[in-house]
Amino acid sequence: MSNANPISTQTLRRLPTYYDYLKSLPAEVKNISATSIARELRLNDVQVRKDLALVSGGGKPKVGYVVEHLIDDIGRYLRYDYVDRAVLAGAGNMGHALMCYEGFARYGLDIVTAFDNNAGVIGTYINGKRVLPIEEMGSICSKQDIKIGIITVPAAAAQDVCNIMVQSGIKAIWNFAAVKLNTPKGVIVQNEDLVASLAVLSRHLKQGGDEA
Amino acid sequence: MSNANPISTQTLRRLPTYYDYLKSLPAEVKNISATSIARELRLNDVQVRKDLALVSGGGKPKVGYVVEHLIDDIGRYLRYDYVDRAVLAGAGNMGHALMCYEGFARYGLDIVTAFDNNAGVIGTYINGKRVLPIEEMGSICSKQDIKIGIITVPAAAAQDVCNIMVQSGIKAIWNFAAVKLNTPKGVIVQNEDLVASLAVLSRHLKQGGDEA
């Protein structure tokens, strides 16, 4: 048995939604119940109650949570107070997009450098950050103690880049390439396959057309 | 019973990976087996065999598939020959990124217009496409028969935008906002919650730290 709260990936994925909702409330709202949050976000209220109880001890019967404290508790759990530094490999369109997405800063992510192996891109700047040759990833990651790697290279190159990241000490990989990555134990991979999502959407339209 | 092949979302999400892999093969490779594809993509070969059999009748014992035909069969199933037009709501960073992501064209998606309600953004151009006031969505969608809507507005505004899309005749919504959307029957929602993925990655690092 561990002292740490056991928390499911699904709960973890819902926490930023609670956080954003609470942050969006007007300053006049001092207290809020799990039931209200559930109603507003169209989630099951038992689930919301359980999720919040895992990260905050501040919920009181009738009164609910103090909004400010609950924001702090969730933010601390999600480490929004702590900036995670990340490197990105593949300075193409998607890489460029992520480097320029200011939204991540709010959630404690700072993409410090992009790497590429294209001589035409190396040395250029994206959102004020220099693109470096991929050979320098190891030294940058170890010097700056970077543990998150973002892969936005084509699928065929993704496993090679993943291996370089693992050798560079990366422990959490955010994979935007449409390929399953092999990683050693202790390294987590989160897949974000936009093209796969597109296939689901497009196919739904085709099926709708079949029925019509 | 329906004549249409029953196909799972998971199979559908794997098809673009097969497609990309087959397209990346050198021209000399004329035939390929499901086993080879599975090995290369690190997938289960029984699964690959089943997936391909759902979209192509061209597999032969010993010989496998004719690469060119299999590409055609998967591409046709995923409607890559047909361009799906989409509208996007929310011309902020993520919206901008998706408008500029050339990769979608390869997979038959054309984001024709971005909508926003910010007067400072309306009338500007992103990647050659004009940003329009959100009030014009209905007429644009009906004139151009657009069925896919992409939501990149803040979470608090997403349901309102979703409602406008549904009223505009959108049948498939790609939601990048961190909120669960309510839609009527017949409208599919595909959620792409990047901030939720980030929470999972960041928390993994924290837990790694706890164990150390």
Task: From residue A64, give the alpha-carbon distance in Å to each of A24, B116, B156.
Answer: 18, 36, 22
For residue B38, is pLDDT > 50? Answer: yes
Within chain B, all domains assigned CATH 1.10.10.10 are found at 9-77
Q: Which of residues 148-177 of A touch B (CB under 8 A)?
A: 148, 155-156, 171-172, 174
**End-to-end alpha carbon distance in chain A:** 55
Helix then strand count (H, E) for chain B reads 9, 9
- How far A60 CA sits from the closest chain B CA (Å)? 26
- Flag whether residue A79 sits within 8 Å of chain B, measured between CB atoms: yes
Looking at per-residue confidence, does B125 or A58 come out higher?
B125
CB-CB under 8 Å, B13 with A197: yes
- pLDDT score for A24: 85
Which tokens in the block code for residue B209?
A: 């730290």
Beta carbons within 8 Å of A35's beta carbon, 6+ residues apart: A45, A48, A49, A64
Residue B184, phi then psi, degrees to nearest 5: -70, 165
CB-CB under 8 Å, B21 with A172: no
**DSSP per residue over A94-121, as a string?**
HHHHHHH-THHHHTTEEEEEEEES-TTT
Torsion angle (degrees, nearest 10) of CA A26, A28, A32, A37: -20
High-pLDDT (> 70) share of chain A, %: 94
Query: What is the rounded distance in angstroms from the CA atom of residue A198 to the CA atom of residue A196?
Result: 5
Query: What is the rounded distance in angstroms from the CA atom of residue B129 to the CA atom of residue B113?
Result: 6
CB-CB under 8 Å, A78 with B199: yes
For residue A105, is pLDDT > 70? Answer: yes
N residues, chain A: 212
- Flag whether residue B6 sits within 8 Å of chain A, measured between CB atoms: no
Amino acid A3 reads N
Cα B13–Cα B18–Cα B23 angle in degrees, nearest 5: 135
Considering the domain B9-77 in this protein, what is its CATH number?
1.10.10.10
Residues A123-170: pLDDT tens digits?
999 989 999 999 999 999 999 999 999 999 988 899 999 999 999 999
Residue from B152, B194, B206, B207 whose CB has the most chain A CBs within 10 Å, to mutate: B194
Find the mean pLDDT for residues A184-210. Answer: 83
Region class of B128: left (phi > 0), else alpha (psi between -120 and 50), else beta: left
Helix ranges (H only) for chain B are: 9-24, 34-41, 45-55, 67-77, 93-100, 103-106, 137-144, 155-167, 194-211
- pLDDT score for A5: 53
- How far B172 CA sits from the closest chain A CA (Å)? 6
Within chain B, all domains assigned CATH 3.40.50.720 are found at 84-197
Q: Which of A84, A201, A207 is closest, CB to CB, to B202? A: A84
Across A108-112, B78-82, B95-99, which has the greatest mean pLDDT? A108-112
- The pLDDT confidence band at residue B3, using thresholds 50, 70 and 90, is very low
Helix (H, G, I), strand (E, B) or coil at B16: helix
High-pLDDT (> 70) share of chain B, %: 94
Residue from A5, A48, A146, A202 whose CB has the most chain B CBs within 10 Å, to mutate: A202
Residues B55-71: pLDDT tens digits?
998 888 888 999 999 99
Which tokens in the block code for residue B8?
A: 């799972």
pTM of the model as a whole:
0.73
Which residues of chain A are within 8 Å of residue B14 when distances are taken between CB atoms? 196
Which residues of chain B are within 8 Å of residue A79 when distances are taken between CB atoms? 202-203, 205-206
Find the mean pLDDT for residues B106-124. Answer: 92
Q: Which CATH superfamily is domain B84-197 in?
A: NAD(P)-binding Rossmann-like Domain (3.40.50.720)
CB pairs under 8 A between A and B: 193
ipTM above 0.90 for this complex:
no
Which tokens in the block code for residue B129?
A: 């496409």
- pLDDT score for A208: 61
- pLDDT score for B5: 53
